[in-house]
Amino acid sequence: AQTVTQSQPEMSVQEAETVTLSCTYDTSESNYYLFWYKQPPSRQMILVIRQEAYKQQNATENRFSVNFQKAAKSFSLKISDSQLGDTAMYFCAFMKRADYKLSFGAGTTVTVRA
């Protein structure tokens, strides 16, 4: 079974600043995907960014980027130029290529201060 660990329950950041969320995972799989999802107060799950394990290049989506360290099984998310709308719970998730099931971490609540 896959385990996803998010060690930061809460993070607070000033508007326009940068915040980094940590995520580690444990797996024996070689073919997998990693995701960061955002869940705002509406509770709608929104895909922020994803990374294929076979790709060495770190994924980037506008102000969101990841630092994927495969050997260390680490997958951190950096939010640059934080905006008030970034306030949400962020979940790191692991997907095994074989069955497409998602395993989620416990989540990190991010609060952006004006």
Partner 1 sequence: GAVVSQHPSWVICKSGTSVKIECRSLDFQATTMFWYRQFPKQSLMLMATSNEGSKATYEQGVEKDKFLINHASLTLSTLTVTSAHPEDSSFYICSAIRDYLDNEQFFGPGTRLTVL
Name the site residues for partner 1 (rule: CB under 8 A).
33, 42-45, 47, 50, 89, 91, 95, 97, 99-107, 109
Decide whether 34 or 112 has the Cβ nearer to partner 1: 34
Decide whether 40 or 84 has the Cβ nearer to partner 1: 40
Decide whether 77 or 107 has the Cβ nearer to partner 1: 107
Q: Considering the complex, what minimum distance in angstroms separates the CB of residue 11 from partner 1?
A: 15
Q: Considering the complex, what minimum distance in angstroms separates the CB of residue 63 from partner 1?
A: 20
Q: Considering the complex, what minimum distance in angstroms separates the CB of residue 10 from partner 1?
A: 10
Q: What is residue 41's three-state secondary structure? A: coil
Angstrom CA distances, 110 to 15, 53, 86, 100, stand at 12, 26, 8, 27
Decide whether 19 or 95 has the Cβ nearer to partner 1: 95
d(Cα 36, Cα 96) in Å, to the nearest integer?
A: 15
Q: Considering the complex, what minimum distance in angstroms separates the CB of residue 81 from partner 1?
A: 25
Look at phi and psi of residue 73 and say left if phi exceeds 0, alpha if psi is from -120 to 50, else beta: left
Q: What is residue 20's three-state secondary structure? A: strand
Question: Smallest Cα–Cα separation from 8: which of 19, 17, 18, 16?
Answer: 19
